[in-house]
Chain A
């Protein structure tokens, strides 16, 4: 158990509204990631963080922003949700130097209607 908690686990929201997903970890890992998973596309990296206030874009970052003000929390924000952002969102951490595998949270199912 990597001690990762995602919230909310399920959310339905309307197009155009802002949405924030939270990832909380209890083991002081430096590296944190946000992925989305869609049929036919697999897991795709949205944003990642390598420390407090240190973040960078991944493969599919358009329409998303992140913040990390504390080691334990990594927030993903959809500024104005669109139907194309309906997906399952996974937070992950990486132990040690970031060169090992990622360990995933339980996922957040987001539906934009």
Chain B
């Protein structure tokens, strides 16, 4: 079973700051990476996907991928209290049928 590691947090940042969430993975041949946001008692929501090395920006979110270091991160600029949630990193296995392996998530707290 491939592994995806995240710091469980909580990561506390003040409103307006940049939140940086990190994820490492063990499968060197993985090609597809995803970030999900999950509010307490709700289902995970896909917010970012990234497939190539470098940065991918979408609004206040930037995903960063470094395949050589097996590292993917999510930056949230101008953090808002509404961003307080658990962020799940997911990596697609590259063996046979392509399935996602999830990290256990990082809890983010944005204080007003």
* Partner pick for B102 among A40, A43, A99, A106, CB 8 A cutoff: A43
B49 at the interface (CB under 8 A from A): yes
Contacting pair B103 A56 (CB below 8 A): no
Contact with A along B34-66 (1 / 0, CB 8 A): 101000001111100100000000000000000
Known: A42-B102, A101-B49. 9 other contacts (CB 8 A): A42-B88, A43-B90, A44-B102, A56-B97, A98-B98, A101-B32, A101-B46, A104-B45, A107-B42
Contacting pair B43 A107 (CB below 8 A): yes
From known contacts A59-B1, A100-B49, infer whether A45 and B99 are also in contact, taking CB-CB under 8 Å.
yes
Interface bin, chain B: 20 to 34
Query: Which of chain B's residues has its CB closest to A48's CB?
Result: B99
Q: Which residues of B contact A (CB under 8 A)?
A: 1, 32, 34, 36, 42-46, 49, 88, 90, 92, 97-100, 102-105
B14 vs chain A, min Cβ distance (A): 27
Q: Which residues of A contact B (CB under 8 A)?
A: 33, 40-45, 48, 50, 56, 58-59, 90, 98-107
Query: Which of chain A's residues has its CB closest to B31's CB?
Result: A99
Kindly state the separation between the CA atoms of A78 and B34 in the bound complex, as whole angstroms.
30
A5 vs chain B, min Cβ distance (A): 12
* Partner pick for B100 among A40, A41, A101, A105, CB 8 A cutoff: A101
Contacting pair A106 B43 (CB below 8 A): yes
Kindly state the separation between the CA atoms of A104 and B90 in the bound complex, as whole angstroms.
13
Kindly state the separation between the CA atoms of A33 and B92 in the bound complex, as whole angstroms.
14
A41 vs chain B, min Cβ distance (A): 7
Contacting pair A42 B97 (CB below 8 A): no
Contacting pair B34 A101 (CB below 8 A): yes
Contacting pair A101 B43 (CB below 8 A): no
Contacting pair B43 A40 (CB below 8 A): no
For B105, list chain A residues within 8 Å (CB): 42
B97 vs chain A, min Cβ distance (A): 7
Instruction: For the complex of A and B, list the 10 residue pairs with the smallest distance between their C-beta atoms, beginning with the closest.
Output: A42-B104, A43-B102, A104-B43, A101-B34, A101-B46, A42-B102, A107-B43, A104-B44, A106-B43, A101-B49
